[in-house]
Amino acid sequence: MTRKTLRKILSFGVSVIAITAVVVVAIFYSYSESQVKENLHMVESIVEAELNQNGEYEFLQNSIDEKTRVTLIAADGTVLADSMEDASKMGNHSDREEFQEAVSKGESSCLRQSETLNESTYYYAKLLDNGNVLRVSTTASETKDFFSNILLYVVISLICVIAVSVAISVGITKSIVKPFEDIEKNLDNLDAVETDAELKPLVDALKEQKKRQKALDKQKKQFTANVSHELKTPLTSIAGYAELIETGMAKPEDVKPFASVIRKQALRLVSLSEDIIQLSQLEESDEQKIVFESVDIYEICKKCVEALSINAKNKNVTLTLEGENCYVKGNGSLLEELVYNLCDNAIRYNKENGSVTISVVPEDDGVKLTVKDTGIGIPDKYQERIFERFFRVDKSRSKATGGTGLGLAIVKHIAQQHDAKLTLNSVLGEGTEISILLKK
Ligand code: ADP
């Protein structure tokens, strides 16, 4: 991060400096060029005034100014006088760009290679009243020399400024990155980190995440401990009874009931492991991976009623399904598991000759599924907790009826994944009603 930030700041700084330097140099260049042109105009007007005054042009043969050259050209292009060269030796100038333009337009300025001096030269030519053309020129080397001197200073100052900006950038980068490094170093003790107001939300979010992670870890540890405990009881019982049979300590008439206990405990282990697997699969698969489709929740309830009718009959409980076919957005097998668990509980925690009513009712914003029983009910103080894993109001009753303590935890999970609202209404001794509002 430090390198990246430094590179960004540096490239920004250097580009700003470089652009500024180019702009300044360009301004200087155009300024010096305009100075040269102004100078040529001035010399021309002085010489023109002199020519007008005495009509002679011989004075032009003498050098006027060592940097500026003055040439008087006749209308046919013959050079009449030149301040730097012998006019008689100079060829006809009628083909010169500035001469032609001055003749046609009255005056002309240009920058071109001089044939006589073989140097890049600025020209200013003007058509005089008598038809001659007065031309003044100066070589561009003047500007170039001035310019190369300036350029040297510009480059030196550029190097100095870049060196200073590198030092400043390193300083700025360090000060930007330092708070992040502090946070990284003190991840285990975020309270000790002193941050600016801008970084406070980040530190707070990290603290919150750590808190959540801690709670999650605690929950996982608790779950593992609970699972080991739940497995230990049936396994100890299986091992104990098997040992009695193995060592011959069990009387022949005890063998059968002992074998029956072993079978029951083994079945308990099977349903426990099934529920544990189901719960961990639910936790692992996030909502994106679950296939949601349009399913008929009434049909699902019908299936569960059929599957549980024997259990209901054994307990002398009547099982009734009310409502109509209703489609909801959900996963068929997960919803089947949810309905099965609710109905199974409603039968198991029911009273002799009690009843269970399942109803499927369409509502404005979805479909309401209700499982209502006339069972033992849940004490108020435990109503919040029954959806926790392994929480049972009456452990022995749960175990005796084949409960694992995970049924409602699975129900809660499935409801959450379907974004469905769960409501519980229960009166101790009278019965329980659990409703779930599914989306269409
Ligand atoms: P279990 O396997 O013990 O039934 P659940 O997670 O399904 O586990 O339920 C947790 C506890 O909630 C049960 O042990 C029971 O005490 C209570 N409970 C669940 N459903 C009912 C119900 N319909 N009537 C009364 N108590 C219930």
Give me the tens of pLDDT residue by residue for the chain, a chain 440 residues long: 667 877 887 888 888 888 888 888 888 778 888 888 888 888 888 888 888 887 777 777 776 677 788 898 989 999 888 888 888 888 888 888 889 999 999 999 888 887 777 778 889 999 988 888 999 988 877 667 777 777 788 888 888 988 888 888 888 888 888 888 888 888 888 887 777 788 888 888 998 999 999 998 998 899 999 999 999 989 999 999 999 999 999 899 999 999 999 999 999 999 999 999 998 888 877 656 788 999 999 999 999 999 999 999 999 999 999 999 999 999 999 999 999 999 999 999 999 999 999 999 999 889 999 999 999 999 999 999 999 999 999 988 888 888 899 999 999 999 999 999 999 999 999 999 999 999 99
Closest ligand 1 atom to the C-alpha of 391? 10
Question: How many CA atoms lie within 13 Å of 30's alpha carbon, on the beta-carbon side?
Answer: 5
- What is the length of the chain? 440
Which two structure tokens, joined as six digits, stand for 67? 């940097």
Q: Is 432 in the pocket of ligand 1 (CB under 6 A)?
A: yes
Distance of CA 384 to the CA centre of its chain: 38
Q: What is the pLDDT of residue 319?
A: 97
Going by C-alpha positions, the residue among 12, 140, 175, 165 that lies closest to residue 67 is 140
Which two structure tokens, joined as six digits, stand for 294? 């349009």
Calpha distance 165→59 (Å, rounded): 58
Q: Is 375 in the pocket of ligand 1 (CB under 6 A)?
A: yes
Q: Is 373 in the pocket of ligand 1 (CB under 6 A)?
A: yes
Closest ligand 1 atom to the C-alpha of 341? 7
Calpha distance 63→69 (Å, rounded): 8
For residue 162, the CA-to-ligand 1 centroid distance in Å is 75
Closest ligand 1 atom to the C-alpha of 405? 8
Query: What per-residue string of b and e applies to 395-432 under the rule 16 or more CB within 10 Å gives b?
Result: eeebbeeebbbbbbbbbbbbbebbebebeeebeeeebb
Q: Is 393 in the pocket of ligand 1 (CB under 6 A)?
A: yes
**Measured between alpha carbons, how far apart are the two ends of the chain, in Å?**
48
Calpha distance 332→414 (Å, rounded): 11
For residue 88, the CA-to-ligand 1 centroid distance in Å is 125
398, 413, 435: residue to mutate for ligand 1 pocket, most atoms within 8 A of CB:
398
**244: Cβ–Cβ under 8 A, 6 or more apart, which residues?**
250, 254, 258
Q: What is the pLDDT of residue 64?
A: 67
For residue 231, the CA-to-ligand 1 centroid distance in Å is 19
Q: Is 410 in the pocket of ligand 1 (CB under 6 A)?
A: no
317, 345, 390, 424: residue to mutate for ligand 1 pocket, most atoms within 8 A of CB:
345
Q: Is 68 in the pocket of ligand 1 (CB under 6 A)?
A: no
Q: Is 317 in the pocket of ligand 1 (CB under 6 A)?
A: no
Q: Is 340 in the pocket of ligand 1 (CB under 6 A)?
A: no
User: How many CB atoms within 10 Å of residue 175?
Assistant: 9
Q: Is the pTM of this model over 0.85?
A: no
349, 370, 430: residue to mutate for ligand 1 pocket, most atoms within 8 A of CB:
349
Calpha distance 273→250 (Å, rounded): 29
Q: Is 349 in the pocket of ligand 1 (CB under 6 A)?
A: yes
Long-range contact list for 261-264, CB < 8 A, 24+ apart?
261/237, 262/237, 262/238
